[in-house]
Amino acid sequence: MLQVNYIRDNREQVLERLAVKNFKQPELVDEIISLDKERRRLQTSSEELQAKANAEAKKIGELMKSGQKDEAEKLKAYTTELREIIKVNTTELTAIEENLQQKIVLLPNLPHSSVPKGLTPEENEIVLENGAKPELPASALPHWELAAKYDLIDFELGVKITGAGFPVYKGKGAKLQRALIAFFLDEAEKAGYNEVIPPLVVNEASGFGTGQLPDKEGQMYFVNQDGLYLIPTAEVPITNLYRDVILKADELPVRNCGYTPCFRREAGSYGAHVRGLNRLHQFDKVEIVQVVNPETSYNVLEDMSAHVQGLLQKLGLPYRVLRLCGGDMGFASALTYDMETWSAAQQRWLEVSSVSNFETFQSNRLKLRFKNAEGKTQLAHTLNGSALALPRIVATLLENNQTENGIKIPEALVPYTRFEWIGESN
């Protein structure tokens, strides 16, 4: 959530940066500034009236002691009038603050100055590409056919049990999932992240704190009877560990990681591009989350991007890094890097990670602060990244490593899978 005083003091810059994100309601900025002006006027008026009422109340006692009862009664009536005005002001102020809050949460985070303009994913900026794209024979199969051939994943059985987008992993397919999760967690631990196992459902306050609410209600599964949401990513519960917390400067940076299943409705998703593991309603992911001093957050973002790239390199997957344009960025993000791997059988890039800096957008909602070196309390910066999301990693591993003898497991994973090949005879 943007800070009101920043909006008020930097109106033109706010409008300019929102335009980069293709925000369609710029008039909200002036509405917020107007409401804030009225809010501050009422606050000042009420404070002045309260000070006057307190001062007059002291005089009443003095008048009563000196026998000036009539004067005291007049003053009593006057202070009663003042308190009635204060009461009316307070009611009006509450309504204005609620209206202000409802409007300000509709504003997305401001994009960083390096974010390119653009409306669609095609306008994202390619930062780098790494690794050679494998050349497969014409007989190469997409991952959903490989999964069926080697009995790794049963999509139809998932439909029977739950519905589309909830696959059943079997045999070496299940072991590959478990191996990847363990590998990603171990690599995060080596990088200094502390592992946590958070809840898989969160309350509304948690969803609001990280910016999923009120922006993404339609994309989350809602447990109506209990008022809880299934998590779309471990970012939500892990970041909310620090809601309403004031950290000490020497406690920063906070580095946490966690594995969870993730749940997304993905309403309206259909077509060939979502076939197989390309888009699911339930999937596994290891998340890395940091809470840092604002002075270091963009260096931290680069470090987190490098960590994710290191995972892809160890898996031997060709990848590219994109800086998302304004129109393709998330609601809460100030700057996002997407990592995509090359699917050799599908001949397309598949997103496998997003790494984002939210600056103070989440921490303002969370009331997540720290005391700086001068002892002053200020908002921290929060960042998170997928390290990594499994479905499309599995898809590209299966497709890119297929041979006539089966599917070769990357060397870095063998200690975790305890097998080197997936094949009909091994």
Residue ranges of alpha helices (H) inside 3-26 are: 4-9, 11-20
Q: What is the pLDDT of residues 295-311, one digit of tens each?
A: 999 999 999 999 999 99
- Of 69, 104, 139, the position where a domain reaches its end is 104
Flag whether 243 is marked binding: no
Flag whether 233 is marked binding: yes
pLDDT of residue 60: 78
Instruction: Residue 124: name the closest of 132, 113, 116 by CA.
Output: 116
Residues 85 and 174 reside in one and the same domain: no
Instruction: Residue 231: name the closest of 244, 215, 212 by CA.
Output: 212
- Of 104, 139, 163, the position where a domain reaches its end is 104
Tokens of 163: 């519905």
Look-up: residue for tokens 């000070």?
51
Q: What is the pLDDT of residues 245-299, one digit of tens each?
A: 999 999 999 999 999 999 999 755 555 567 899 999 999 999 999 999 999 999 9
Look-up: residue for tokens 């109340």?
57
CB 211, CB 274: distance < 8 Å? no
* Residue 268 neighbours by CB under 8 Å, 6+ apart: none
Flag whether 333 is marked binding: no
| Cβ atoms within 10 Å of 324's Cβ, excluding its own | 23
Is residue 115 one of the residues assigned to a domain?
no
Residue ranges of the chain with per-residue pLDDT less than 70: 216-217, 267-273, 424-426
Look-up: residue for tokens 């000490």?
248
d(C-alpha 259, C-alpha 198), whole Å:
9
Q: Name the burial class of residue 5, with classes exposed (0-12), middle (13-18) and buried (19+) by CB atoms within 10 angstroms of its CB.
A: exposed
Is residue 229 one of the residues assigned to a domain?
yes
pLDDT of residue 217: 67
Mark residue 171 as left, alpha or beta (left: phi above 0; alpha: psi -120 to 50; beta: remaining).
left
Residues 135 and 99 reside in one and the same domain: no
Residues 282 and 388 reside in one and the same domain: yes
Coil/strand/helix, residue 394: helix
CB 193, CB 288: distance < 8 Å? yes
Is residue 99 one of the residues assigned to a domain?
yes
Is residue 110 one of the residues assigned to a domain?
no
* Residue 353 neighbours by CB under 8 Å, 6+ apart: 308, 338, 339, 385, 386, 387, 388, 389
CB 401, CB 135: distance < 8 Å? no
Flag whether 401 is marked binding: no
- Of 52, 73, 104, the position where a domain reaches its end is 104
Flag whether 265 is marked binding: yes
CA 131, distance to chain mean position in Å, is: 29
* Residue 395 neighbours by CB under 8 Å, 6+ apart: 143, 276, 277, 278, 343, 346, 350
SS3 for 147-196, per residue?
Answer: HHHCCCEEHHHHHHHCCCCCCEECHHHHHHHHHHHHHHHHHHHHCCCEEC
Flag whether 352 is marked binding: yes
pLDDT of residue 261: 98
Number of domains in the chain: 2
Residue ranges of alpha helices (H) inside 226-374 are: 235-239, 297-314, 361-366
Tokens of 165: 């987008």
Flag whether 405 is marked binding: no
pLDDT of residue 424: 62
Is residue 116 one of the residues assigned to a domain?
no
Residues 239 and 307 reside in one and the same domain: yes
Beta bridge partners of 340: 320, 351
Q: What is the pLDDT of residues 57-106, one digit of tens each?
A: 788 777 777 877 778 778 888 888 888 999 999 999 999 999 999 999 99
Residues 72 and 188 reside in one and the same domain: no
Residues 158 and 79 reside in one and the same domain: no
d(C-alpha 351, C-alpha 312), whole Å:
12
Query: How distant, in Å, are the alpha carbons of 100, 227, 266 from that of 204?
Result: 19, 7, 20
Flag whether 264 is marked binding: yes
Flag whether 287 is marked binding: yes
* Phi, psi of 135, deg, nearest 5: -105, 120
Look up the domain containing 368 and give its range. 121-422
| Distance between start and end Cα atoms, the chain | 54
pLDDT of residue 40: 95
* Residue 6 neighbours by CB under 8 Å, 6+ apart: 14
Query: How distant, in Å, are the alpha carbons of 30, 139, 233, 341, 398 from that of 309?
Result: 42, 30, 20, 10, 19
The model's pTM: 0.92
Residues 47 and 166 reside in one and the same domain: no
